[in-house]
């Protein structure tokens, strides 16, 4: 990998509980992975839209944390909104997601995220997120 991986920090309790983990770094950005098991299943043998959304959201936060760590910034992240587009059904195998910071401001960030299974160029879902960055006190 060309770039130095950023610092991801600790995953949220929610992400850990759902089984989301860091797969690898790609051009300095974390690629997150979740295995297919009952915790993510919606209709039989398919991902639940909420689980896919949780993976996308976790990858978006991970990308933002990595970017903030690289620029030596510390902030508490608060969700403003997320819009998820479901492109095709998530099948019963592991899924990946990777975020891209479209705009990093002082108080908010705009992040685009893609999730895929076998082929990164054929996403199963994409998301746009706006995240508020509150200065951590102390």
Partner 1 sequence: MSDTPRFDPKAATPFLTSRGHSGWLGLKYSSHGEDWVELELPWRTDLLGEEGQHVLASGPILSLMDMASGLAIWKAMDRFEPIATLDLRVDYVRPAREGAAVFGRSQCYRVTRSAAFVRGLAHDGDADDPVAHIQAVFMKIGGKDARGVPNGQ
Residue-wise burial string across 73-91, b where 16 or more C-beta atoms lie within 10 A, e elsewhere? eebebeeeebebeeeeebe
Q: Which residue, 40 or 68, has its beta carbon nearer to partner 1?
A: 40
Q: How far is CA 66 from CA 6, 76, 122, in A?
A: 4, 13, 25
Q: Which residue, 68 or 84, has its beta carbon nearer to partner 1?
A: 84
Distance between CA atoms of residues 110 and 51, nearest Å: 21
Contact 40, 32 (CB under 8 A): no
State the CB neighbour count (10 A cutoff) for residue 116.
Answer: 20
Residue 58 C-beta: closest distance to partner 1, Å = 7
Which of 6-14, 28-36, 106-114, 115-123 is the region at the interface with partner 1 (rule: CB under 8 A)?
Answer: 6-14
Q: Which residue, 48 or 70, has its beta carbon nearer to partner 1?
A: 48
Distance between CA atoms of residues 82 and 13, nearest Å: 19
Site for partner 1 in 27-66 (CB under 8 A): 38-44, 47-51, 53-54, 57-58
Q: Which residue, 3 or 21, has its beta carbon nearer to partner 1?
A: 21
- Binding of partner 1 by 81 (CB under 8 A): yes
Number of residues that bind partner 1 (CB under 8 A): 36
Distance between CA atoms of residues 23 and 46, nearest Å: 21
Which of 2, 72, 83, 105 is in the footprint of partner 1 by CB under 8 A? Answer: 83
- Site for partner 1, rule CB under 8 A: 10, 12-18, 38-44, 47-51, 53-54, 57-58, 76-86, 89
């Amino acid at each position: 990998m060309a770039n130095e991986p950023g610092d991801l920090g600790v995953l949220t309790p929610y992400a850990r509980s759902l089984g989301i983990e860091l797969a690898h770094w790609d051009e300095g950005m974390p690629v997150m992975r979740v295995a297919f098991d009952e915790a993510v299943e919606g209709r039989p043998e398919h991902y639940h839209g909420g689980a896919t959304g949780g993976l996308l959201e976790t990858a978006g936060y991970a990308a933002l944390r990595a970017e903030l760590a690289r620029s030596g910034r510390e902030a508490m992240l608060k969700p403003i909104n997320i819009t998820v587009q479901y492109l095709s059904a998530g099948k019963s195998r592991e899924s990946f997601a990777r975020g891209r910071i479209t705009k990093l401001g002082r108080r908010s960030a705009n992040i685009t995220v893609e999730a895929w299974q076998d082929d990164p160029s054929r996403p199963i879902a994409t998301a746009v997120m706006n995240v508020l960055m509150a200065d951590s006190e102390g």
